[in-house]
Structure 1
């Protein structure tokens, strides 16, 4: 009769499966997660598709938590689905994770508490786009707040199955900085283009392959350059190049401006199409919360007026 695998054996197998996925994919998909992981020929799930906090029946302790990025038109379940990206890019030591409902005695919320008390390494599947995830492991529950119905999550840069929960501020910030670097490029383009329903915000071109996620404020600016949706605009390749060269500007009221030196030129239909944008309004995303940040636009528009 086969022996029952231990919690640590199953956890190691789950971490190894996620590591293999990360090696072969830019981002993990919902279909990848449905496959689960295997140990001694037996399949085990990585997540519960209906809930964000998951412990397999065969395990004693929490295995994974998940934050989804909702599809267009779908409701956002919890604030942390949007705020976690902002917290990461702001360089905080930890990120918030909402309880399942408001009852701290619910099973899922008790799993969070037990993981904190036992310093259990877990996997955080962070939604980066509809049906896409960045797997952050090992993650640790480092605080459990019944009053505000939320936990706090910290990350470690150590080996998934042997790392210990980080306790020092410097250690937590360093690990979070590594997470930030991983997320930067992989999530920014997906999030921006999805927010605008895969259309260029200037021309309306509907082909994602032809679109870039243009930064309003460049990413080396520590204060305003975070790769969040409000700092991005989906632009076709030619519009992105013109925007970066300050030949196109967008003011804080979302009005498009074309540099005078382009307006004075006459050289074919592509140039005329750019010139026709002068005075038009930016095509805004459906959600007001995803619109370009006016303060960032104002700063960028100042550069356009000076250089365009």
Structure 2
């Protein structure tokens, strides 16, 4: 059991009172357990969230596993401030910070544990109905109850696989979701949050890096969530790589494609023949198998 959070393992679907939640996390929420609770003990920081679709908050489940979390704040105080809790949520999009999700209903001292979630998008935007800026977070349930399960998935992402290509799954199950979350963080971190092609390090107004964790051989075709099948790319070069405007040689040189009908984008053409930036750790660099399969997929060999 991980010390970054509860003092005992929780089960997804378990219902607790506020007192029981406080006991499990060895913490106090004050008058009411609500919103985002940030904790930073010596063992490592983590977040506890209570999502509520009642009158106070505007949290909304957009599917069985996805939730848009609304940073309610107090409208009369104007724009929502960047608290430590909100900052942790912003940073959790690219850092390994456990986020434990509970849901509740207004007026009931019952909090259902939904498991760990990842932040897939964090933004600071104008809430037109209130005429103020506030934080919103898109969350994805991982189907994991404990942080140790996530760490096990992160270890799988680092390791090379004897079966790097698999049959495309009909739908993502919880094991795939947890590896996907770990894959994104590991790849982005390995490339220091900069594009392997152009070196851009753009960030959003609240500090989130633009860099994306691209699969070299597409996940939709059975490419695995392993570090050697990942590469850090900006949005433009991620798109260009996925559609086949360029490929990468075994020596990490950019190979540019062409089209009889459409001119090659200048933003791709300028890097023809240049070497990409690769991680300092060899086991996180693009794997030859994945590079070769990507080239085959787009007609480069």
The question of a shared fold, defined as TM-score above 0.5 by the shorter chain, is answered with no
**Structure with bigger gyration radius:** 1
Larger RCO: 1 or 2 (CA < 8 Å, sep 6+)? 2
**Comparing both structures, which one devotes a greater share of its residues to helix?**
1
